[in-house]
Structures are given as C-alpha cells and as structure tokens.
Homo-oligomer: A and B are copies of this chain.
C-alpha cells in the first residue's frame, strides 16, 4: 500500500498545556485528529465547571481548525454527586493522578483508599462518566505500574459499571489485566510501542525520550505491540504527547514527556506497516475509542502517503521525538 486513509483519528490522551505553549501545540493536533481527550493537569489543575469551560474555550481559540473536538476532563477530587450532575455535559472523563506521579500532579490523591472515593466513583458510575487513571505507585521506577495492578483490581471490582481507562500502559502486567475485568480499558502511546529503557538510558542519556511511565523492558514493549497491532477492542491510541521547552528538557533535571503529536500518525503507519497490521490501524486510532467512549467525532479523513518526511528539529520551543530523522510516511492531505 502506498496510501492510507484514516477516518476521524482520535488521540485519547493528550497534554495541551496552556497560554503560549497551547497556541503552539494545539494546531499540531487539530490538523490531523478529529478530537482528543485533553488532560487537566494544568497549574492549578482543572477542577471546576468554570475552569473546564474556560480551558475548552482557550483550546478552541488556539486551534486552527473548526473540525476538532477537545474532549474535556476534570482533575479528580472527591466531587459530590450534585457537582458531577452539573458538570457531566461539559466533560468526557475525570482523570485521577497519584500525588506526585508526574508533571503537575501534586494535587492528586495520596492513597487509593476506596471509602473516601466511594461517593464520587458511584456517582460517576451512575452518570456514565469515565474514570481515566494514571496508574503508578510511588515504588521503584520500573515496578510502579505493575505494582498498581491491585488498585485497578480494586476499582474495577468495586465499581463494575464504571468504565476505567488504564492510561498509557507500559507493561505486560497491564496488558494481562485488560481481559480480567469487563470495565477495564487502556490507552497505548506510540512511543511505548517503539522504545524501551534501553533507548532512554542504555547508550547515551536521551532526555527527549524520558517520560512517565518510563519505558520498560523488551517483553513489555512486545506485549503492547501485540494488543495495539491487533487493535484489541479495549485498547485505544492515546499519544500522551507532552510538550516541554527544549531548554527545560535538556537542562539538568529534566521533566518527563515525549512530544509526538505532529508525527503520531506517521509513526503509527510505520509501525503497523512493519508488522503487516495496517488493516487494524483504523480501529486502533479511532473506532475503538468511538465505541468505548460513545463519541461521534465530526467527519475528517486523513490521507497518508508513503513518502519520506523529515521531522523538524523543533516545533516552537519543543523538540519532537525523532527530531531531524526521516519517517517513511507523510500526511498527504486532510479532508
């Protein structure tokens, strides 16, 4: 195949930040995606109806297209049923972070004790609000996700009607968890399909591949590839694309995040082509998410062509993954 047509691509895990950074990165996603689930970890985090509406407005303004839908999220706190009823039409999911697990997550939950969360999660379950989870403990960096599996089990079994998304999964353990509970789903990034810890710290140290959860072992990557390439019906693409300015990313003590938004579809074509799985790409980048989230994005067709594309060194102040390298697929047109 020399061209691939993708209908209504969706990025179900995206960081757009705010202010000047938002203006740089928002158009890079809205160009090729029909919609994206927008993470709420701003400073301060998005926790009120007003903040959701105002952030959505800023996103719409920053987009250079009118055929893109930002699916909004709230930053998890213990919310009342009354509040959730009032905000449910403005949000698609609520994102829960363990405190300190990643960028701007300081206001997250300190522990996943079920009782303090019960009222909120029951109300979410009743109202059909999806729970999006950053699933890491505060343990040893290579074990954080695997250790978190018991929390997923606790959540999934106590709230069987609540749809729970294991975000940006990176381990075989999370892959194995998928089929154990009907109400567990997952997003997978494109970079975790491509790299392991070896790429981050096996040769030179590569800050632009440093992310949370950190890339794991070869067998973990293989497990992720298997479900993504098969477009496992409970798995969706979510880039977790996260822009950090170059100087901050390369200075001593850099933040976590890989910026892939403008090259995600091209990379996915490369990967799915390499494994003869291009037929499943549509389901992985859109159909599964539409069904899981019950969303109906506006029409957008993205046509990719097998033609070399040299990734820019920078988008604004942000260095993308594979900067300066040549990809085998380009965006030909967007209809």
Which residues of A are interface residues toward B (Cβ below 8 A)?
140-142, 196-198, 200-202, 204-208, 210, 214, 217-218, 249-256, 319
Chain B residues near A142: list those with CB within 8 A. 142, 197, 217
How far does the Cβ of A156 sit from chain B's closest Cβ, in whole Å? 27
A196 adjacent to B253 (CB under 8 Å) = no
Decide if the interface of chain A is mainly helix, strand, loop or mixed: loop
Q: Which 9 A-B pairs have the closest CB atoms?
A: A141-B202, A204-B253, A205-B210, A205-B254, A250-B252, A141-B198, A205-B207, A141-B197, A140-B198
| Copies of this chain, count | 2
Across the interface, which residues of B come within 8 angstroms of A197, CB to CB?
Answer: 140-142
Closest B-chain residue to A215, C-beta based? Answer: B201
**A255 vs B203: C-alpha distance when bound (angstroms):** 8
State in angstroms the CA–CA spacing of A200 and B200 once bound together: 11
- On chain B, the residues within 8 Å of A254 by CB distance are 204-205
Q: A140-B196, A252-B319 are in contact. List 4 more A-B contacts (CB 8 A).
A: A141-B202, A142-B197, A200-B201, A206-B253
Q: Which of B141, B202, B205, B251 contacts A253 (CB 8 A)?
A: B205
State how many angstroms separate the Cβ of A61 from the closest Cβ of chain B. 32
What chain B residues lie within 8 Å of A205 (beta carbons)? 205, 207, 210, 253-254, 256
CB distance from A331 to the nearest CB of B (A): 26
User: Inside 8 A of A210's CB, which chain B residues have their CB?
Assistant: 201, 205
Q: How far is the CA of A32 from the CA of B234 in the complex (A)?
A: 61
When chains A and B are docked, how far (Å) is the Cα of A205 from the Cα of B102? 12
CB A24 to nearest CB in B, in angstroms, measures 20
Q: Which residues of B contact A256 (CB under 8 A)?
A: 204-205
Min CB distance A267 to B, Å, is 20
* A251 proximity list for chain B (CB < 8 A): 250
Among B201, B217, B218, B249, which residue has its beta carbon within 8 angstroms of that of A201? B201
With A and B bound together, what is the CA distance between A251 and B251 in angstroms?
7
Cα of A200 to Cα of B254 in the assembled complex, Å: 11
* Selected contact of A208 from candidates B204, B208, B217, B252, CB within 8 Å: B252
Rounded to whole angstroms, the CA-CA distance of A217 and B204 in the bound complex is 20
> How far apart are A203's CB and chain B's nearest CB, in angstroms?
8
A217 CA to B197 CA, complexed, in Å: 14
Q: How far is the CA of A239 from the CA of B173 in the complex (A)?
A: 37
Residues of B with C-beta under 8 A to A207: 205, 207, 252
